[in-house]
Amino acid sequence: MNMSNPMIESTEIPEINYESVKRKQRIRTFAKGMLFLLPSLLLFGVFLFYPLFKTLYLSFFLTNARGETTVFVGLQNYLGMFASPIFHQSMKSTFLFVLYTVPTTIIIALFLAVLANEKLKGIGFFRTIFTSTMGISVAAASVFWLYLFHPSIGFINGILEMIGMESIGWLTDPKWALIAVAVTTIWMNLGFTFLVLLGGLQSIDSYLYESADIDGASYFYKLRRITIPMLSPTLFFVITVTIINAFQTFGQIDILTQGGPQNTTNLIVYSIYREAFTNYQFGTASAQAIVLFVIILIMTIIQFKLGERKVHYQ
């Protein structure tokens, strides 16, 4: 492409087939892009897509105790599941659990983050404390709460007795078990949620607040008109992650209640685990797993659709 000889170039122009050149370039860039994607595609393929399809496949079969398929039953696993009162209970508990944990976690974390974002003396100490639950494993946290909830020597019942109330069987009373597990979960998730929200708050330009100060905006006016809208991408991320986490809760159930009492804390993932590894019903377990997958998928799609309208990306 040099301009040194315009005569020759002008006669040559009609002979170049732009379309085919462009197509070749497109194929080239596509191949290059694929090359870059290959490592993650491989990882996703082995650890995500293959298990997903395997699960889907299993959900149409009965299996033996080793998980090998025996009889093709079509949709029978699904029909049986939807008819089962235990599954209904499990779904109800799961949705209640999400309802208890997600809004509470986010509101408390947001409150703490707004506090910790103030420029006060010694605020670093509080930031560390608020974040600290992030560094505690599910198992350690669960054991810790197991003792707090202990019916006779537990700290919480100790307090209740001290103020003259009856002690509660936190993990054995069907009325309270789900709430107790929810409290544990909120406490465990708080660190991460707090940290992400604090990061979001700190990335808001301080000029915006100074400008609002000069305009005479009150604290809550600034919170409502600046902080929350500017934080909305972060909030959106945190809500999505917390919901998915809540649906997938397993560790604390296994340690605190094993799904009891009367299946009130038998959340869906725990139910899948029991179906597969206690009852050796890999077929029904897979069917439940697929249902969980679909629920999370739908929730996420709804969120993104709503989010698009409400979230202000910079």
Partner 1 sequence: MGYIELMDISKSYNKQSDVLNGIDLQIEKGEFFVLVGPSGSGKSTLLRMIAGLEDISGGTLKINGNIVNHLPPKDRNLSMVFQNYALYPHLTVEQNILFGLNAKKIDKATQKKRLLETAEMMGLSDLLKRKPRELSGGQRQRVALARAVVSDAPLCLMDEPLSNLDAKLRANMRIEIRRLQKKLGLTMIYVTHDQVEAMTMGDRIMVLNDGIIQQVGEPIALYNKPSNLFVATFIGSPKMNLGKAKLKESNLVIEDVFTIPFNHEQILAKFQNRQLVVGIRAEHIPHGAEKDGVQTVEIVNVEQLGNETLISFEVGSKLWTAKWLGQWLVGVGDRVPVQISVENMCFFDEDTGNLIQAATSSLKREVVAI
Residue 205 touches partner 1, criterion: CB under 8 A? yes
Which range binds partner 1 by CB under 8 A, 99-107, 132-140, 204-212, 287-295? Answer: 204-212
Tell the smallest beta-carbon distance from residue 108 to partner 1 (Å).
25
Residue 68 touches partner 1, criterion: CB under 8 A? no
Residue 207 touches partner 1, criterion: CB under 8 A? yes
Tell the smallest beta-carbon distance from residue 118 to partner 1 (Å).
16
Q: Could you give the 3-state DSSP secondary structure of residue 217?
A: coil
User: Which has the closest alpha carbon to 201: 313, 110, 124?
Assistant: 110
Residue 62 touches partner 1, criterion: CB under 8 A? no
Task: Give buried/exposed letters for 47-63 (b at 16+ CB in 10 A, else e).
Answer: eeeeeeeebeebbbbbb
Calpha distance 101→185 (Å, rounded): 7
Residue 22 touches partner 1, criterion: CB under 8 A? no
Cis preceding-peptide flag for 261 (omega within 30 of 0): yes
* DSSP symbol at 204: S
CA 37 to chain centre: 24
CA distances from 307 to 106, 230, 232, 241 (A): 16, 13, 9, 14
Residue 201 touches partner 1, criterion: CB under 8 A? no
Task: Say how many residues touch partner 1, by CB under 8 A.
Answer: 20
Residue 312 touches partner 1, criterion: CB under 8 A? yes
Tell the smallest beta-carbon distance from residue 166 to partner 1 (Å).
50
User: Which has the closest alpha carbon to 181: 94, 296, 110, 262?
Assistant: 94
Q: Which residues, 210 to 269, sit near partner 1 by CB under 8 A?
A: 210-218, 221, 225-226, 229-230, 232
3-state helix, strand, coil in the chain (%, to 5): 75, 0, 25
Tell the smallest beta-carbon distance from residue 90 to partner 1 (Å).
41
Q: Could you give the 3-state DSSP secondary structure of residue 71?
A: strand
Q: Which is nearer to partner 1, 137 or 211 (CB)?
A: 211
Q: Which residues, 290 to 309, sit near partner 1 by CB under 8 A?
A: none
- Name the residues that contact partner 1, by CB under 8 A: 205, 207-208, 210-218, 221, 225-226, 229-230, 232, 312, 314
